[in-house]
Structure 1
Amino acid sequence: MDAATSTRVDSWIWAVRLAKTRSAATAACRAGHVQVNGERAKAAQPVRIGDEVRLRTTDLERTVQVARLVAKRVGASVAVDCLVDLTPPPPPKEEVAVTVLRDRGAGRPTKRERRDLEKLRGRSVDG
């Protein structure tokens, strides 16, 4: 494996700051969370410029294209130049419905309280 044309996938993931540690990158490869060009990757698999790397973490799946090979960890500003982020933007978060908490044992709401609750929820009030 020539260092000028390829590098290990776990080392590259760590070097461009997709994983906090090299051992975390290796563990992700071992667990099957890393794919190179659509194929499951072992830690020692070589990556080359133009390869597509998918890394699944706890909260999202990152898809990046290798733009530059690095074997040693680089700063965040340099790491941005080493990859092209192809990750689709996350879907917009849905608005959480407003819930009204009533004291236990408070009984049924009065007509006035019910109208206030309906206004709070954004529903039209008849009457």
Structure 2
Amino acid sequence: MPEKEKLRIDKYLWAIRLFKTRTLASDACKAGRVKLDSKNIKASHEVKIGETYQVSKGTERKVIRVTGLLENRVDAKKAVDFYLDMTPVEQTQAFKSMFHAPMLKRDRGAGRPTKRDRREIDDLKDDFFEKKDEDDN
């Protein structure tokens, strides 16, 4: 892969497959969801090898260090060679466990939960998350 000396952050994030489109990467920069040293950066910021970026995408938070510059989008297996994922394990596990949380739905028109219903819901949530914490240890 030919490496360039100048590369925009939006193009880099798109190329390493953190965002599906370059427009989404650019919008994330404009919204302040891409940071360098806790400072917001513009989509036109030049990426340098060794820099560490904090990227927020929905509920997911990633910390990546640039190990190589990639101009064009490549498959996921090759893209991993151009960055180092430094996201703390606690954040990664918290994001994954969110998908295993119980989904509580109430029938439409059932109104607000009663005090008894609320206590049952809270107990169910507490039991679920305590069991997850015990399984991890």
Q: Distance in 1 between matches of 2:38 and 2:4?
A: 23
> Corresponding residue for 2:37?
37
> Corresponding residue for 1:20?
20
What is the TM-score when the length of structure 2 is the normalising length? Answer: 0.63
CA distances 1:89-127 after superposition (whole Å, capped 9, x unpaired): 234649979xxxxxxxxxxxxxxxxxxxxxxx9xxxxxx
Q: Distance in 2 between matches of 1:6 and 1:37?
A: 20
> Corresponding residue for 1:5?
5
Q: Distance in 2 between matches of 1:66 and 1:30?
A: 20
CA distances 1:6-61 after superposition (whole Å, capped 9, x unpaired): 31000000000000000000000011100123321100000100011111011211
Runs of 4+ in 1 over 6 A off after TM superposition: 94-97
**What fraction of aligned residue pairs are identical, expressed as a percent?**
32
Equivalences for 1:109-120 in 2 at 5 Å? Answer: none
Higher share of residues assigned helix: 2
Q: Mark the CA change 1:73 to 1:96 in structure 2 (over 3 Å): closer, same or farther.
A: closer
5+ residue gaps, structure 2: 103-126, 128-137
CA distances 1:52-101 after superposition (whole Å, capped 9, x unpaired): 1111011211100000001111111110000000011234649979xxxx
Aligned residues: 96
5+ residue gaps, structure 1: 98-120, 122-127
Larger Cα Rg: Structure 1 or Structure 2? Answer: 1
Q: Distance in 2 between matches of 1:96 and 1:43?
A: 35
Answer yes or no: is the 8 Å Cα contact 2:14–2:22 preserved in 1: yes
> Corresponding residue for 1:107?
none
What is the TM-score when the length of structure 1 is the normalising length? Answer: 0.67
Answer yes or no: is the 8 Å Cα contact 1:6–1:49 preserved in 2: no
Answer yes or no: is the 8 Å Cα contact 1:68–1:81 preserved in 2: yes
> Corresponding residue for 1:64?
64
